[in-house]
Amino acid sequence: MINPLDLTGKHILVTGASSGIGKATAIYISKLGAKVTLVARNEKKLEDTLSKLEGEGHSVYPFDLKQVEEIEGLINNIVSQKGALNGLVHCSGIATMRPLSMTRTAFLHDMMLLNFYAYVELIRCSSKKNNFTEGASFIGISSARSISGDKSQTAYCSSKAAMDAATRCMAKELATKKIRVNTVIAGFIKTAMYDMFVGNAGEEAVNSYILGRQYLGMGETVDVANAVAYLLSDAAKFITGTGLIVDGGFLS
């Protein structure tokens, strides 16, 4: 039986693989046969993710992606040790809430470092000669709020909107190299970020807001992982420069 999402033997780098969507994605694509390289700051949590992966050939690279200037060295090390990339999934991100009156340049910069600058640099370095295979798929995890906006989230929403815009630009530029670039535009997903919102506003208020707009209820990390697996696979070989919306109806 043919599995259109088969990733057997494909080398996929997943950032933010220590928790949340990144961890779920790494576990899921390992079940589809991928060889997964895990990147995040916390080595202990990365090792926990590694222990849950199926198959062989996986690896762990503890790294702080806010050190954007060091990303090229990271990619070079990974490729030299594990081989060229068939795919990249940037799940690392922060979503701190802060009202406009408290949003200073330093806060904006910190948000952009991980959510946007690191994403562009990862793709810039991964798309260099010998670092990728033909048909490679690069993916960023964006947010429905990059489109809808939200109170106290100017920095976060802007960083994800920048990711979406950069994706469209990079997809056009990298098409000549047979590299696809897309985002998954996620709605509210039950992760540590959701727990943070609950901590700030209270569970009743958050759930009332979400369930009033996200008609299929709260999303699970595997819902995003499914979409990522599709975009990584050859089933999506004719898709580039777009945002795949996985939001339970939030934007409808």
Range of the domain at 61: 11-245
**Along the 252 residues of the chain, how does pLDDT read in single tens digits?**
789 999 999 999 999 999 999 999 999 999 999 999 999 999 999 999 999 999 999 999 999 999 999 999 999 999 999 999 999 999 999 988 899 999 999 999 999 999 999 999 999 999 999 999 999 999 999 999 999 998 889 999 999 999 999 999 999 999 999 999 999 999 999 987 777 777 777 777 777 777 788 999 899 999 999 999 999 999 999 999 999 999 999 999
- Asked if residue 239 belongs to a domain, the reply is yes
- Asked if residue 39 belongs to a domain, the reply is yes
CATH code of 39's domain: 3.40.50.720
The catalytic residue among 61, 117, 156, 230 is: 156
- Asked if residue 96 belongs to a domain, the reply is yes
- Asked if residue 6 belongs to a domain, the reply is no
Token pair listed for 235: 């089933």
- Asked if residue 105 belongs to a domain, the reply is yes
As beta bridge partners, residue 12 has 36, 87
- Asked if residue 62 belongs to a domain, the reply is yes
For residue 115, what are the contacts with CB-CB under 8 A and spacing of at least 6? 93, 94, 156, 159, 160, 162, 163
- Asked if residue 64 belongs to a domain, the reply is yes
The CA distance from 122 to 113, in Å, is 12
The CA distance from 138 to 125, in Å, is 12
Q: What is the pTM of this model?
A: 0.95
Residues 200 and 219: beta-carbon distance below 8 Å:
no
In what order do the strands lie in the sheet containing 243-246?
A: 59-62, 35-40, 11-15, 85-90, 132-143, 180-186, 243-246
| pLDDT for the residue 248 | 96
Catalytic residue at 156? yes
The CA distance from 46 to 14, in Å, is 11
Residues 68 and 120: beta-carbon distance below 8 Å:
no
- Asked if residue 250 belongs to a domain, the reply is no
* Among the listed residues 44, 41, 230, the one whose alpha carbon sits nearest the alpha carbon of residue 137: 230
Strand 180-186 and strand 132-143: the pairing is parallel
Total domains, the chain: 1
